[in-house]
Amino acid sequence: MKFFSKYSLLLSMLCLCVLGTFAQQDKEAKSDTIFKGIVLDAQSKPLSGVSVYIQEKIGTVSSDLKGEFAIKANVGDVLILRNRGYITQQQILGNENLLSITLIRADADAGEEDNATTPFAILKKRNVSGAVTVLNGSNIPQLPTNDLRNLFAGRLSGLYQSQVGTAPGTTVTNVFMRSINSFNARTARIFVDGTERDFGDMDISEIESITVLKDASTLAWYGLRGGNGVVMVTTKKGDSIRSYIHFDAQVGFQNAINLIKPLNSYDYASLYNEASLNDGAVAPYNQAALDAYRNNTLPFLFPNNNYIEDYLRKTAPIQRYAFSMGGGKRTVRYFASVSYLNQRGFLNNTQTPSFDSNVGFRKLNFRGNIDFEANKYLTVSLHAGVRTENRLSPGTGLTDVMNNIYNTPPNAYPILNADGSLGGTAQYTKNLLGLLQQSGYTSDQNRVLLATLSVRQKLDFWIPGLSFNAVGSYDGVGNYISGLTQQYSVADQTLANPANYLTASPVAYRTTTYGNNALQNEFWAGFDYEKTLGSHHLNVSLKGQRFADKAPERLDFRNQGLAGRIDYNYKQRYFAGFTAGYSGSENFAPGKRYGFFPAISAGWILSEEKFLKSVPILSYLKLRASYGSAGNGDIGGSRFPFESFYSRNLSSGGYSFGLTPTATNSASESNLGNPNITWETVRMLNTGFDVRFLNDALGLSVDYYQTRRDNILTANIFPSLIGQDAGLVNGGKVQSRGLESSVFYSKKLGKLEMNFNGNVLISKSKVLAENGQEGLPLYQQTVGHIAGSTLVFLSDGLFQSQAEINSHPQQTLAGRVAPGDIKYKDIGGPLGVPDGIIDNNDQVRIDKTALPNTYYGFGGNLRYGILDLVFQFQGVVGRTINIQGLVNSGPSAFNALSLDRYTPSNAANARFPRLGIADRGNNTAASDYWLRSADYLSLKSLEVGFNLPSKLTTKLGVSNARLYIGALNLFTTNDLGIGVNPEVPNAGSGSTYPYSRTYTLGISVAL
């Protein structure tokens, strides 16, 4: 762990240096001279909201509705004026105290906020002919979350975020690019400051921008890592013309929502009786027992527990604090930040004198970024982030506790017996109070270092425009687990001879374990050349790359390669580009390790042509197109799939030999290798246009894309006589296409400022080939269907009578068939035609999948005077989920949904099949009966803010201050009708931590 302490010390020294610089600036900034001015646009109309500050000094003011401002400064200071969509203006202050300054509107997609981060280049979107989406960090809500990806849901066109985890510190959000086009790994890769690493646990105060790369011209550079799309995250840097200090604080709480409603003991026992009778068994609860449950008499013999109410809180606190500062001079620029997040869990009755077993998450982030120009030729940058994380959980694990909360019958045992001992039975020994108060707790701690060193050496003295660039990253994770252990015992005092189970043990320190340590590094180095000759501009880049991911308990993962790019434009109007990646992975066989992935692109800004200059409503029009390929070397985690592996049978089994056969030590094949296995190849075509109207107030971008993915990894098919799994083969092909669009509108009407955004993607995929389809009937084959299609039985309602069962084709899936069971359609037999028997030949492939074919987002930012409103929605269409596990998962999990089961009295209106204890096989088969549309529209984030008036902030000595209330996951609309969240449907049931809604009160202050 020494490298953590070394880098923490380095980061601390950097922060002290920065604070010293600020102190020096404050000393120099004292001035009594007030300069007043007015800011105008090219039509001499006043501009409000323009940021005005003094170069290299702290403090910012804004122009008012009349365009006027006042700022303290010295003669000779440099005045800076910045406004979104305009060219930054600089002016040296003289003896004139009344200023009139005109800002010129920047070209469309060429403002300071229009920087697109492409591989080792930051370009104006105007100069990019590929498909990219950019989100500035200033447009992301500053709300507390343990996964940053939750904050930009619905904000980035072509990107779908799906949350699959909910517990504090373990929230997982998958990021998917455009269409479903593979059977294997489909999530986009994340790069932070040029190298591959995750960013979900970073703090939002560290993020400068997020750029999504979506087409071949931007992805071919990454070769085998580009096939699923790339998200580029750029952290903040210092500004040589502006110094600032910023502080954010939020306190709030989270609500547990969408919990499956439990049953009381009377309803549970009644349903259990019914299920037993449906199975042909004897009802275990007599009328006396049912009356005792209903009347709550004899609670120690007939308990009535509500585990959700007793052991889950309705609310849990959350808080976040963030401090950041940045600035510098031309030669040295810096950014530093520190943030703290504390999230408590929903578990209740967890506090003891020795410990608290409630789940929780605490995170402390440090970041220091410094850019140093040693001379006019050499620039060195060090970007370092250090993070400490602490995840707390009950001693037996959060999953174990949640599983027992949801799946223990309410009448299983009394929590406490009459003598105060913990209740339990031979079947149910996991007493909830024992799990939470007498099983200790676990503290899982991580120490994370993310460091990037980059060097840029200009070689103008050799060849003008040539430079050498190198970037190296060093990422380390250290993990250790500690805590307390304890064991409880339970007693069943309902027996004639009371029995005890488990053996109690006192609180003790848990042996600290170290593990899950990992080291990852990536290195890029090469040359860049830039040349402008008249109206011709050329940019060339060539770099080599090497990546390694190491951990002590496994073999290293490595890849390496070359990447090159040539970009040319003429008059900043006509654009052409060529990009290529040549990369390889040691996970493939020699001779199959490297691939070449080229791409071309072109762009044309039509609005610069004379024949469109006279169209007054049109501000900007650009056409774009690209074609090329990228690869996907992520083949499902298989290690060296080209090798055959063997297992030695030394302790048991083996083969028998000799006249008197005896088992002999042996070896057997555990995996058959495929020396021809290779990566997936993705060919991409993208065409699109960007258009702006009404002086850039209204903008629209539209892209049409087609992709074809070949060599998708599938299972091979061998005859069963081989006696061995067949291994893997590149036997899949998928074609996809889609239409993607984004729109924005900005307008100022007096005190009212309006900014709206929207985006939508509509996609369609089709399997062209998949290994293993031979011999299957057409209606079961994947070819022609979407990737990820589902094989199911087609249902036809519920059987209403035994006579109906007798007249229906025989269902042979599992167990007996009775009234109230699902009725399936007879689709085909061995000969491909209905045969009067329901078996696996009757399964049908349908185009249903959990990943939607359409997703969209829209939001807005409204400000009226000192009040503002910020909101963002995300919605999906074409998402399907299976609710069987929520409704029909067995007797221990009977819940309020079970009340809508089939009975003879409500046969016509039953929502779900009859209940059963063991005889449920017919109703658990994969069928469309359990599939539901999970289309939804969700208000992902909302902020309502109050900005302190400028007169008050001036008196307080701050540039601006804002008080606000915020919310995450405020509401979700859907048609499921069963009380679950369509994005994370299993949250709040099974063994999954509840889904949450977050409310916060915050303050933001800037100097």
Instruction: Specify if 577 maps to a domain.
Output: no
Instruction: Characterize the bridge pairing of strands 936-947 and 960-974.
Output: antiparallel
**Can you give the pLDDT at residue 11?**
45
- The residue among 465, 498, 518 that closes a domain is 518
- Supply the CATH number for residue 157's domain: 2.170.130.10
Domain shared by 298 and 380, yes or no: no
d(CA 986, CA 167): 13
DSSP 8-state assignment for residue 926: -
**Can you give the pLDDT at residue 724?**
65
Domain shared by 89 and 177, yes or no: no
- The residue among 501, 518, 535 that closes a domain is 518
d(CA 53, CA 80): 5
- Supply the CATH number for residue 16's domain: 2.60.40.1120
Instruction: Specify if 676 maps to a domain.
Output: no
Residues in CB range of 840: below 8 A, 6 or more apart:
none
Three-class DSSP labels, 742-780: EEEEEEEECCEEEEEEEEEEEEEEEEEECCCCCCCCHHH
**Can you give the pLDDT at residue 5?**
46
**Can you give the pLDDT at residue 638?**
72
Write the Ramachandran bin of 516: left for phi over 0, alpha for psi from -120 to 50, otherwise beta. left
Domain shared by 227 and 313, yes or no: no
Instruction: Specify if 811 maps to a domain.
Output: no
Domain shared by 443 and 351, yes or no: yes
Domain shared by 218 and 348, yes or no: no
Instruction: Specify if 122 maps to a domain.
Output: yes
Domain shared by 40 and 125, yes or no: no
Instruction: Specify if 492 maps to a domain.
Output: yes
Closest CA to 987 of 895, 878, 886: 886
Look up the domain containing 68 and give its range.
Answer: 2-102
- Lookup: tokens for 930: 């359990």
Domain shared by 81 and 189, yes or no: no
Count of CB atoms situated within 10 Å of the CB of 273 = 19
Contact indicator for 39, 71 with CB cutoff of 8 Å: no
pTM value?
A: 0.89
Count of CB atoms situated within 10 Å of the CB of 789 = 19
Domain shared by 88 and 135, yes or no: no
Regions in the chain scoring below 70 on pLDDT: 1-32, 636-637, 649-658, 662-664, 718-726, 988
d(CA 218, CA 629): 10
Domain shared by 441 and 505, yes or no: yes
Residue type (1 letter), 26: D
**Can you give the pLDDT at residue 723?**
62
d(CA 121, CA 456): 12
DSSP 8-state assignment for residue 832: S
Instruction: Specify if 252 maps to a domain.
Output: yes
Domain shared by 44 and 180, yes or no: no
Number of domains within the chain: 4
Domain shared by 221 and 273, yes or no: no
- The residue among 496, 518, 540 that closes a domain is 518
Length of the chain: 1007
Instruction: Characterize the bridge pairing of strands 68-72 and 34-40.
Output: antiparallel
Instruction: Specify if 330 maps to a domain.
Output: yes
Domain shared by 323 and 422, yes or no: yes
Instruction: Characterize the bridge pairing of strands 230-235 and 189-192.
Output: parallel
d(CA 398, CA 360): 10
Instruction: Specify if 704 maps to a domain.
Output: no
